[in-house]
Amino acid sequence: MKVHVAPVEKAYLDAAWRRLDRFTKPPRSLGKLEELAARIAAIQRTDRPRLGPGAVVVAAADHGVAWEEGVSAYPPEVTYQMVLNFLAGGAAINQIAAEADARVYVLDVGVRGPDFPKAEGLIQARVRPGTGNLAKAPAMRLEEAEAALKAGYEAAKWALREGATLLAAGDMGIGNTTAAAALTAAFLGLPAREVTGRGTGVEGEAYARKVRAVEAALRRAEEKLGHLDRAPALAVAAELGGLELLAAAGVFLAGAEAGVPVVADGFPVTAGALVAVRLVPEVRDYLFAGHRSVEPGHARQLESLGLFPVLDLGLRLGEGTGAVLAFPVLRAAARVLAGMATFEEAGVSEG
């Protein structure tokens, strides 16, 4: 899979900042909103950016580690059930997306269970019915990692064809904060414990099992690939999973390639963002952090990507909720840059 992402040009950033600094407001008084505006302008190669409808690709897949090691507060069949819930419109992401002018695309990239009935917004592209147990075996083969990446990429292309001007990735997969912790520890060179959180609410012995599973996975992958922060990103992702995290990476690749802002969600999806940026560093120019979750590893991921979160409301749900919740703020940022008057235009005295 060949992806061409043009780096954002500094000239557009500079032009955006020049405009922002001439507007009728104390310089930089809109804080980080101005940074968002300038980055969106540069992505769109204009100094009058505009964001219209958005979309979120909610990638769903299962995790062998959830079945075999008991690392989650929820039974693994919840992944399947939640996909049905997304399709029926009953999940949090459906409500938030409806409010934020975003379409929901549900991508089955590796759910375990029977095929889903045909439904609007469902993209069936199951690479395999859940990963292997990363604590004991590769999560998937390299070709499967490529296929999962491609599934996310194609789903995003579909959303773009249907009019999305702003893209988020979301995730559903019982056990996926375990895979995300392993990936994050691998890429950032951090110990498992520092990036392994409570996920959907795992406590006590189950949490200890989760940490041990991440540690075992890292040891296993390291024996095979050597230093994980220097090994090929796709090989590392194949070892540690999961399928939906790779799909999220594919969404970011497609959005960046199309010149559209892409918004990361919580800890699992941002692990996907790490994969995408390792594969194509220019993706970073197109990437925004919708929010900061309570997962301890999420802040580390955002630091390493050099991103600040638009929202910080203590979310820990996933599904793309924190990403889509940030859409209106990104749109407002763009609109400020497109529509405000300068001091000269408005006849306002300067300080």
80: its two tokens? 């399947």
From the CB of 95, what's the least distance to a second copy, in Å?
A: 4
Which among 53, 42, 54, 2 is positioned nearest to 262, based on CA atoms?
A: 54
Nearest to 247 by CA among 54, 79, 59: 59
Contact 85, 309 (CB under 8 A): no
- Nearer to a second copy among residue 94 and residue 165 (C-beta): 94
Catalytic residue among 215, 244, 319, 345: 319
C-beta of residue 195 within 8 angstroms of C-beta of residue 296: yes
CB of 204 to a second copy, least distance (A): 13
What distance separates the 2 farthest-apart alpha carbons in the chain? Answer: 69
For residues 152 and 261, which CB has a smaller minimum distance to a second copy in the complex? 261
Is 319 among the residues known to form the active site?
yes
Of 147 and 164, nearer to a second copy (C-beta) is 164
Tell me the two tokens of residue 256. Answer: 């960046």
Residues that bind a second copy (CB under 8 A): 23-27, 29-33, 72-75, 77-78, 81-82, 84-85, 88-92, 94-96, 98-100, 200-201, 294, 310-317, 321, 325, 328-329, 331-332, 335-336, 338-341, 345-351
Residue with tokens 């820990």: 316
Q: Name the residue nearer to a second copy (CB basis): 74 or 207.
A: 74
The SS3 assignment for 250 reads helix
* Sign, CA torsion 142/143/146/152: negative
Shortest spacing between CB 219 and a second copy, in angstroms = 29
CB of 104 to a second copy, least distance (A): 13
- By annotation, the residues acting in catalysis are 319
